[in-house]
Each structure stands twice: as structure tokens, then as C-alpha cells.
Structure 1
């Protein structure tokens, strides 16, 4: 599915997604993806908390895409992120991608970690 284009002044945006992939700033990334600022990169999934905690000081909110369906994050993940100063919200990946794009277009300090559909 393609998402609506907007002007993001050089920021990496999520342009589309499908079974097992995301298109971020013109690049197709297979598997889980982490998007922040001007880059999207492969991410190790929910077992890769270090990549999420490394966002401390750079983002205020992390949108966690849980795949096609709503799901709970691993126990304690949101507490650890909160201790690092990152508020996290979990939702299905399509919703997280759209929410990230909208809030990033507003100039807010956000990131998005998405599990594939």
C-alpha cells in the first residue's frame, strides 16, 4: 500500500509497505525497520532493544508497529524506554507508519520501529 506524499524537508518517510517489506525514502527494506530523522534501516525486531534505547536524547516518542495486528510489547520494554526518556506507543504497523509520517511532518522528535506485516 502506498501512503500519501508530503514535503518532509529531507526526512526519511515511510512511503509504503507490503508483506515483509517497507519502502522508506525510496529504499525497500525487508523485515523489521527502524526509521528516525533522515534514515531508515533494518532493525533486529523486538529482541533488539539496544537500537531503541540508543534513540534516547534524539526522540521523545517511539511508535512501535506490531505487525498486522495489535499486540503487547515485551514485558518491561516500555518501562525501560521511559527510563531513557522515550515515550512509546504500540499499534499495528500500518497505523504506526502513518502516525510517524504525520507527527514527523509537524517537526516533532519521533521515531518508528516497525515489524513487517
Structure 2
């Protein structure tokens, strides 16, 4: 089998995740977080809309990882993000991490706001 290594050109991908944590560039972060081409930050979950809105004009789509299982996000979160001109795609956290990594490898303007898995 041939494997093709991806080049991320300074953008930090998810390297791994587990119960309650994410690993990015060798560092472990506990709890929910936002990862985007400019860096990463703590995310307070569905009620914490402000850091997502700060990404307007910087990225095009936010992938929201809802933990182990896919779940609906609150309507006010979706309305606020979409009202700021951002796309919002909801999936479970493992899928959000994988999708983010693939698309940043393609140079796309994306972010991930993810809840940890249990």
C-alpha cells in the first residue's frame, strides 16, 4: 500500500483525540475547543457563539463535532453562525476532525468547533 503524506503548510491538524481530550501538534487539550487556520482556543460549547462569529471573513465553514453521536445544535447557534455568513456543518466529533484535516490539507478555509468524545 502506498501512503501519501499531506502537507499542511503551517496549519495545525488534529493528530488524535480520546475521552475528553484532543492532541494538536503534540500538545494535549482537554475539553471542547475550536481549531482553525489561525490557531486554537477553548470553546464553551453550544452557548459559546462569540468565538465562532469572530471567524466570519476568515473561514467559510465551521464543522461542529457533537461528541460521540451526531446531534442537533440549538437553532439560535445555527441562526447566529449562518447570519454571520458562515456555513455550519454538524457531525459527530470523529467525523468533524477527519473532515477538517482533509480540507485544510487542500488549503480550504475551514474551522472545527468540537465537543470531546467520552
Q: 1:102 to 1:39 in 2, by over 3 A?
A: same
* Relative contact order, higher structure (CA 8 A, sep 6+): 2
Q: Is the 8 A contact 1:34 1:40 kept in 2?
A: yes
Q: Is the 8 A contact 2:46 2:77 kept in 1?
A: no
The runs of 4+ residues in structure 1 deviating greater than 3 Å are: none
Superposition deviation, residue 5 in structure 1 = 6.2
* Structure 2 segments unaligned to the other structure (5+ residues): none
Q: Which moved more, 1:97-106 or 1:77-86?
A: 77-86
Task: State the structure with more CA Rg.
Answer: 2
Q: RMSD value over aligned CA atoms?
A: 1.4
**Separation of aligned partners in 2, 1:112 and 1:44:** 13
Q: TM-score w.r.t. structure 2 length?
A: 0.91
How many pairs were matched up?
A: 114
Superposition deviation, residue 38 in structure 1 = 4.0
